[in-house]
Amino acid sequence: MVHRHLPKLSDGEFRYLQQMMVEVSGIHMADSKRMLVAGRLMSRLRELDQGDFYEYVNFLRQPANQSERRLVIDLLTTNETYFFREPKHFDFLGEWVASQRGPIHLWSAASSSGEEAYSMAMTLAEHARTPHWSIFASDLSLRVLERARQAIYPLEQSAQFPAGWLQRHCLRGVGDHEGSFRIGQALRHRVAFAELNLMRDLPPEVGPFNVIFLRNVLIYFSNPDKRAIVERLVGRLRPGGLLFIGHAESLHGFPLPLRNVRPSVFERV
């Protein structure tokens, strides 16, 4: 077996990447992430036929190489997600939407490759009493948004679906697509994906929403950034609407017009 030698990422080069990441996405990469970063960028060095990080970082620093900097952000963000992650949230969402009569607009605010937004869509399709509902889903990473729009996933990922939901809401792949499934067209049409950086001001046309999922992304931000992001999002949540955050996350100490109604679920007062 041939072991590829991993070129060294110097202190200065790593600091440049850390700073770029925090400036663009707000994400703090700890010093302990250096090897991980080098590993994730290796394939890019090979594609560009560059021998080491010195050359690559110099390339990134050139003002004209904006699209390459975007690509690095894409490669360095953590996009881990799965269907019905933190299932109690979806149980509660189902109960809550069943109690609503008016239109329901939902936002998956760090949607990654779409599993969260489509889990919301299936929950609404099963439980909403109104036919007037829609989901807006956004992320910083263009790579994951492309996958989300495709809506094709390996069949193993449907293991956590409630009984019958795969059959009712998805299409099983045949031929070349054996072993995968696609979210059905009716649900795909309910979900609109867009690129949106939570670190920036929100476009005026976003919202207002009845439900916002902001899960497993706050952990990457500094406290001031986290607070600013949550304030902006709460500004787009209707009174009586719900904000869901990840179970490992907290809004403790932020003076926000929110009431805790379930673990990591808040109602806008």
Give the interface with ligand SAM as residue ranges (CB under 6 A).
Answer: 25-27, 77-81, 85, 110, 112, 116, 139-141, 144, 197-199, 215-217, 246
DSSP line for 22-34: HHHH-PPPPGGGH
Looking up tokens 């697509």 gives 177
Residue 139 among the catalytic residues: yes
Residue number with CB closer to ligand SAM (110 or 265): 110
The answer to whether 149 and 193 are in contact (CB under 8 A) is: yes
Looking up tokens 């809004």 gives 251
Residue number with CB closer to ligand SAM (7 or 221): 221
Query: Residue of minimal CB distance from ligand SAM?
Result: 81
- How far apart are CB 27 and ligand SAM at their closest, in Å? 5
Calpha distance 54→10 (Å, rounded): 8
40, 70, 143, 147: the catalytic one is: 40
- How far apart are CB 161 and ligand SAM at their closest, in Å? 15
69, 139, 215, 225: the catalytic one is: 139
Residue number with CB closer to ligand SAM (22 or 166): 22
Calpha distance 218→141 (Å, rounded): 16
Calpha distance 116→137 (Å, rounded): 9
- How far apart are CB 214 and ligand SAM at their closest, in Å? 8
Phi, psi of 64 (to 5 degrees): -70, -15
- How far apart are CB 70 and ligand SAM at their closest, in Å? 12
Strand partners, 115: none
Residue 238 among the catalytic residues: no
Question: How many residues appear in the chain?
Answer: 269
Residue number with CB closer to ligand SAM (50 or 75): 75
Residue number with CB closer to ligand SAM (111 or 180): 111
- How far apart are CB 196 and ligand SAM at their closest, in Å? 6
**Burial letters for 86-124: b for 16+ Cβ neighbours within 10 Å, e otherwise?**
beebbebbbebbeebeeebbbbbbbbbbbbbbbbbbbbb
Which residues carry out catalysis? 40, 139
